[in-house]
C-alpha cells in the first residue's frame, strides 16, 4: 500500500494487480466461451469487468476523457455494446420495464426543470445499464432455461474472492465506516459497493442450478463469508432473508420428495436457531438500529435539533435522512412533485442520502417515489407469480428492498448489476409460468 492510496482506501500495487488479473482473465475467457449464448457471455464479461475495475480504483476513479472517470467510461461502453449487439429491440418493450422508463423520463424532466441536464443524462445511463443487464439475463435464460450460464457467471466473482483472500493473506484491511473495526475488501475502495457485489455473487450461486453441487456449495460459502468479512452492516442485515431462503430450500430439496415434509420442519427449526445465533453475535453492532426502530419518527426532525448522541445513531443515517427531507421541504411546490434534480445533492451535502426513497424524494419528488414503488411492486408481483423457486425470488427481492432502506444500490453500478440480474431472472420465471416449461426460441447460439 502506498501513501497515495490512503484518500481512497487501501489498494494493491500494480505488481500484484496485473499478474493476478492476467490469471483471472484466462478463467473469464473460458467462462465466456462456455456461457452458451451471446447474452450469457455478455453478462459474464460485464460483471467481471466491473468487479475487476473496482480493484483498480486508484486509476479508475480519475477522469480519463471528457471529464469522465474510468468507471464511468466502462459503464457507458458496456451499456452501449449491450444495446447495439446484445439486446433484441423487441425486448425493450417488456411491460416490466415501464417503471424504469418512467424513472428515466422523470429524471430527464427534473433535470431540465432544475437546469442540470447533465445530472439527468448520468441517471439515464445508469438505468440504461440496469435495463441492459436485465434483458441480457432474460435473453440468456430463454436460450438456456436451465441457467447453465449462471454456473459460468460465478467466474465473474473470482476477482472479488481472490483479492479479498489476498488482503487477508497480505494483511491489507481497511478501517470500517463506523471507525470501530477493520474490514477486508480486497483493496477495493469502500465496503458498501464491495459487499453488494459479493451479495450478487451469492445470488448467482443460489440460482446456478446446473453447477456441480460441491462447487456451488463452496461458492455460496465463500461469498457468504465474503459479505461478513466486508463488515458492511446494511448489507449483512439485508442479506439475511436471502441466505435463510437458500438454506431452507437447500435442506428441503436435498432429500427425496417423500422426506421433504419432515426435512422442511427440521430446516425451519435450524433456521430459527441460526437467526438467533446471528442476532446474538451482531447484537452490539445493531443496537442503534433497535434504538431507531423504537421511535423512528422521533429521529426524523430538523437537523439542528439533533444532539451529540442522536448524531451517532446508525452511523448518522437519521441525521442524513432528515437533512435531505427538510431540504426538499424547503423547495417550491413544483420541486415537491418533481424533485430538485437527479444527483443534485452533490456539492450541497457531504454524503449521499443512504436511502433510496429519501434520495428519490429529494431528486425526483413525489412522482419519483411513485415510480420507484411501482418498479418494486411490479418485480415483487412477478416474483410471486414465478414458475419455480418462488420462495428464493421473493426473499431476494425483499433483501434488495431492505438494502435500499439504508444505502443506495441504484447509485452504485454494483447495485444496478444486482437488481438487473435479479429482475431478469424474475421476469423470465414469471413469463415461463403459464406453460410450466421454458420456451426455446430459435436464436443463434454463441460459438464455443
The pLDDT tens digits for 50-84 are 999 999 998 998 888 877 889 999 999 999 999 99
C-alpha cell at 69: 472517470
SS3 letters for the chain? CCHHHCCCCCCCCHHHHHHHHHHHHHHHHHHHHCCCCHHHHHHHHHHHHHHHHHHCHHHHCCEEECCEEHHHHHHHHHHHHHHHHHCCHHHHHCHHHHHHHHHHHHHHHHHHHCCCHHHHHHHHHHHHHHHHHHHHHHHHHHHCCCCHHHHHHHHHHHHHHHHHHHHHHCCCCEECCCCCCEECCCCCCCHHHHHHHHHHHHHHHHHCCCCCHHHHHHHHHHHHHHHHHHCCHHHHHHHHHHHHHHHHHHHHCCCCHHHHHHHHHHHHHHHHHHHHHHHHHCCCCCHHHHHHHHCHHHHCCCHHHCCCCHHHHHHHHHHHHHHHHHHHHCCCHHHHHHCCCCCCCECCECCCCCCHHHHHHHHHHHHHHHHHHHHHHHHHHHHHCCCCCHHHHHHHHHHHHHHHCCCCCCCCHHHHHHHHHHHHHHHHHHHCCCCCCCCCCCCCCCCC
pLDDT at res. 206: 96
Asked if the model's pLDDT at residue 295 lies above 80, the reply is no
CA neighbours closer than 13 Å in the CB half-sphere of residue 150: 27
C-alpha cell at 8: 481512497
- Lowest mean pLDDT segment, chosen from 38-52, 251-265, 337-351, 423-437: 251-265
Backbone angles phi, psi at 159, to 5 degrees: -55, -45
Quote the pTM value. 0.90
Asked if the model's pLDDT at residue 179 lies above 60, the reply is no
| Percent of the chain residues topping a pLDDT of 70 | 84
Asked if the model's pLDDT at residue 205 lies above 50, the reply is yes
pLDDT at res. 42: 98
Position 440 confidence tier, pLDDT thresholds 50, 70, 90: very low
Partners of 182 in the β-ladder: 175
Q: Using the structure block, give the residue that is written with the C-alpha cell 414458475.
A: 387
Backbone angles phi, psi at 391, to 5 degrees: -60, -45
Which residues in 269-292 are b (16+ Cβ under 10 Å) and which e? eebeeeeeebeeebeebbebbebb
Mean pLDDT value across residues 39-44: 98
Strands 174-175 and 63-65: unpaired
pLDDT at res. 181: 67
pLDDT at res. 248: 84
More confident residue, 57 or 396: 396
CA separation for the pair 7, 187 (Å, rounded): 13
More confident residue, 186 or 399: 399
Which residue, 296, 284, 294, is CA-closest to 321?
A: 296
In sequence order, which residues have a C-beta less than 8 Å from that of residue 358 and are 6 or more positions away?
321, 324, 325
Average pLDDT of every residue of the chain: 88
CA separation for the pair 184, 424 (Å, rounded): 30
- Lowest mean pLDDT segment, chosen from 189-203, 217-231, 295-309, 329-343: 295-309
Contact yes or no for 338/365 (Cβ under 8 A):
yes
Asked if the model's pLDDT at residue 372 lies above 90, the reply is yes
Helices 413-431 and 38-55, packing angle to 10 deg: 160
CA separation for the pair 53, 215 (Å, rounded): 25
Position 442 confidence tier, pLDDT thresholds 50, 70, 90: very low
Using CA atoms of 202, 203, 206, 211 in order, give the dihedral in degrees to the nearest 10.
-80
pLDDT at res. 274: 64
More confident residue, 12 or 421: 421
pLDDT at res. 175: 74
More confident residue, 193 or 434: 193
pLDDT at res. 239: 93
First vs last C-alpha separation in the chain: 40
CA separation for the pair 337, 360 (Å, rounded): 11
CA separation for the pair 197, 392 (Å, rounded): 18
Strands 174-175 and 182-183: antiparallel
Mean pLDDT value across residues 288-295: 72
Amino acid at each position: 500500500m502506498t501513501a497515495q492510496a490512503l484518500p481512497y482506501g487501501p489498494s494493491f500495487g500494480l505488481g500484484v494487480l496485473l499478474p493476478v488479473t492476467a490469471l483471472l482473465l484466462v478463467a473469464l475467457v473460458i467462462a465466456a466461451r462456455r456461457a452458451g449464448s451471446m447474452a450469457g457471455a455478455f453478462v459474464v464479461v460485464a460483471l467481471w469487468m466491473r468487479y475487476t475495475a473496482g480493484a483498480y480504483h486508484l486509476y479508475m476513479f480519475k477522469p480519463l476523457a471528457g471529464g469522465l472517470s474510468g468507471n464511468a467510461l466502462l459503464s457507458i461502453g458496456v451499456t452501449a455494446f449491450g444495446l447495439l449487439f446484445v439486446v433484441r429491440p423487441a425486448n425493450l418493450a417488456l411491460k416490466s420495464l415501464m417503471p424504469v422508463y418512467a424513472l428515466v423520463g422523470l429524471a430527464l424532466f427534473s433535470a431540465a426543470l432544475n437546469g442540470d441536464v447533465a445530472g439527468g443524462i448520468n441517471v439515464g445511463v445508469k438505468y440504461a445499464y440496469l435495463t441492459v443487464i436485465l434483458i441480457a439475463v432474460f435473453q440468456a435464460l430463454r436460450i438456456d432455461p436451465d441457467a447453465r450460464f449462471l454456473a459460468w457467471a460465478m467466474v465473474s466473482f473470482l476477482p472479488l474472492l481472490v483479492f479479498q483472500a489476498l488482503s487477508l493473506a497480505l494483511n491489507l484491511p481497511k478501517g470500517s465506516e463506523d471507525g470501530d473495526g477493520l474490514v477486508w475488501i480486497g483493496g477495493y475502495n469502500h465496503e458498501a459497493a464491495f459487499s453488494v457485489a459479493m451479495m450478487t455473487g451469492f445470488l448467482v450461486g443460489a440460482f446456478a442450478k446446473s453447477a456441480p453441487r460441491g462447487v456451488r456449495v463452496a461458492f455460496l460459502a465463500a461469498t457468504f463469508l465474503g459479505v461478513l468479512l466486508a463488515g458492511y452492516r446494511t448489507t449483512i442485515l439485508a442479506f439475511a432473508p436471502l441466505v435463510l431462503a437458500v438454506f431452507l430450500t437447500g435442506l428441503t430439496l436435498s432429500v427425496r420428495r417423500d422426506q421433504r415434509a419432515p426435512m422442511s420442519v427440521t430446516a425451519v427449526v435450524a433456521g430459527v436457531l441460526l437467526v438467533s445465533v446471528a442476532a446474538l453475535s451482531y447484537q452490539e453492532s445493531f443496537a442503534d438500529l433497535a434504538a431507531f426502530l423504537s421511535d423512528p419518527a422521533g429521529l426524523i426532525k430538523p437537523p439542528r435539533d439533533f444532539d451529540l448522541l442522536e448524531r451517532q445513531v446508525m452511523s448518522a443515517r437519521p441525521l442524513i435522512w432528515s437533512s435531505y427531507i427538510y431540504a426538499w421541504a424547503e423547495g417550491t411546490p413544483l420541486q415537491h412533485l418533481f424533485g430538485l434534480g437527479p444527483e443534485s445533492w452533490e456539492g450541497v451535502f457531504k454524503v449521499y442520502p443512504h436511502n433510496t426513497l429519501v434520495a428519490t424524494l429529494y431528486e425526483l419528488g413525489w412522482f419519483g417515489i411513485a415510480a420507484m414503488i411501482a418498479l418494486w411492486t411490479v418485480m415483487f408481483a412477478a416474483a410471486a407469480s414465478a414458475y419455480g423457486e418462488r420462495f428464493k425470488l421473493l426473499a431476494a427481492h425483499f433483501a434488495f428492498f431492505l438494502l435500499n432502506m439504508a444505502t443506495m444500490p441504484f447509485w452504485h453500478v454494483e447495485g444496478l448489476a444486482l437488481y438487473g440480474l435479479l429482475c431478469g431472472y424474475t421476469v423470465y420465471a414469471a413469463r415461463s409460468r403459464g406453460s410450466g416449461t421454458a420456451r426455446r426460441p430459435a436464436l443463434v447460439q454463441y460459438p464455443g
